[in-house]
Structure 1
């Protein structure tokens, strides 16, 4: 599909605003839905390359609002695992074909929804026992890998941070710090591997105002919008998107 077309803008503008709202106000856990949605209409590599500069802009825009409100011990252990995870993700991406990336994006989307449903029905309970350093390093490893190949590091971070029993704003600030650092680190690999292109960067310039708008809306919604409403809509979208991506690969 032609990148600079009305049909692509019809998908990208809402997706970018959604990513800003998610990362700016709701812990980044579902921001990867934007890349999942774009993978329906674009080659996965183009979708990933298009989204990363916008995600970095969202990180930079939201960081001042949460400055030094994060939990540094939790952030540090995730980042220590995230660095090698990112490198593994880069190696996998260099080997995999577009359908493999689509499959991973789709599977991660469905697993995330299943995980949330398990928590909702009490099958999994987080926050009662604090996770140790080893669990944090494993979560960071998964975070780095999934972040590189699908911008889906949020779920791994959420599992570990929710297990730490952090307050709402402290949790949000910690995710902002983590993904600001991880996205900055992986951007060097994206540039060196040719995932960024002239076309995606020009598209990013056109979409940048929508990323900032989404971030502003997310910061405001963090204090006013019921989380249950935001996530309910997101889970439906992720389920439909994940199923469609897997169906496309299998057929």
Structure 2
């Protein structure tokens, strides 16, 4: 049975695209990490990533249009150079670095980050960070590297950007530009590594109509949500995704 004639493929892939689209629109952020694991229920991980990447590019285009004029150039100027370096490192080490190790490490770091925020909030000591170029460059590099190796660039980006406490619209618009650039740059090494073929691109095309609809739904939600609701929700999502990354990393390394 071909992929496009298999009903189980659509049962896994359509919810994945919707979750990623909501995230790309700005709602949930780290929910995008659930996309590839869902699709891997029916196809191998590498194929799942290859199918979703063109869809991510379309979502990025929709998000860039929806959030035009709502980005922080300071954040981008600090983080993007590091992200490009991280992608290059990921490409150079693709045959050496295992996805399991990357997911486990990112999951543990993100778990500490989210728990620290919770303790600060419960203690009435929630802080607002200011820009710091060395720290931003570092987390940008980690985001680029983990995005290339394990499609897990969201949490490292959020570790730097969430404590800035920007308006939800500005935070979302900035993250949209950041990951649009990262995904566009990733196309080159993905093609070079032979990640795309006719079968995968056909599957991407079949799922494509859900991409703009889900992305615009995420945009609609973020434009109506208050910062007092947005940030606790985002930190909650980061916490859940940290547990998911730790689980996936341990599972990969243990061979489960």
Q: TM-score, normalised by structure 2?
A: 0.84
- Which is worse superposed, 237-246 or 204-213? 237-246
Give the aligned partner of residue 212 of structure 2.
212
Give the aligned partner of residue 87 of structure 1.
88
Gaps of 5+ in 1: none
Structure 2 distance, partners of 1:6, 1:209, is 17
Deviation, 1:60, is: 0.3
Give the aligned partner of residue 19 of structure 2.
18
Deviation, 1:85, is: 0.4
In structure 2, relative to structure 1, the CA distance for the partners of 1:50 and 1:127 (3 Å cut) is farther
In structure 2, relative to structure 1, the CA distance for the partners of 1:168 and 1:240 (3 Å cut) is closer
In structure 2, relative to structure 1, the CA distance for the partners of 1:27 and 1:86 (3 Å cut) is farther
Structure 1 distance, partners of 2:236, 2:63, is 23
Contact in 2 for aligned 1:36/1:105 (Cα 8 Å): no
Structure 1 distance, partners of 2:236, 2:205, is 31
Give the aligned partner of residue 76 of structure 1.
77
Structure 2 distance, partners of 1:209, 1:40, is 21
Structure 1 distance, partners of 2:241, 2:156, is 19
Give the aligned partner of residue 165 of structure 1.
165
Deviation, 1:144, is: 0.7
2:30 counterpart SS class: coil
Structure 2 distance, partners of 1:2, 1:246, is 32
Structure 2 distance, partners of 1:186, 1:165, is 29
Give the aligned partner of residue 30 of structure 1.
31
Give the aligned partner of residue 243 of structure 2.
239
Structure 1 distance, partners of 2:245, 2:141, is 25
- Which is worse superposed, 194-203 or 127-136? 127-136
User: C-alpha root-mean-square deviation of aligned residues, in Å?
Assistant: 2.9
Structure 1 distance, partners of 2:2, 2:116, is 40
2:116 to 92, 107, 118: 118
Cα offsets for 1:84-116 (capped at 9, x unmatched) = 1001111222335xxx32453455356535532
Give the aligned partner of residue 189 of structure 1.
189
Structure 1 distance, partners of 2:44, 2:60, is 24
Structure 1 distance, partners of 2:105, 2:111, is 10
Deviation, 1:11, is: 1.2
Gaps of 5+ in 2: none
Structure 1 distance, partners of 2:41, 2:246, is 10
Cα offsets for 1:194-218 (capped at 9, x unmatched) = 1122221111101111111210110
Deviation, 1:68, is: 1.8
In structure 2, relative to structure 1, the CA distance for the partners of 1:173 and 1:82 (3 Å cut) is same
Deviation, 1:248, is: 5.0
1:25 counterpart SS class: coil
Structure 1 distance, partners of 2:138, 2:99, is 21
Contact in 2 for aligned 1:44/1:101 (Cα 8 Å): no
Structure 2 distance, partners of 1:168, 1:89, is 30
1:199 counterpart SS class: helix
Q: Which runs of 4+ in 1 moved over 6 A?
A: 123-126
Deviation, 1:19, is: 0.5
Q: TM-score, normalised by structure 1?
A: 0.85
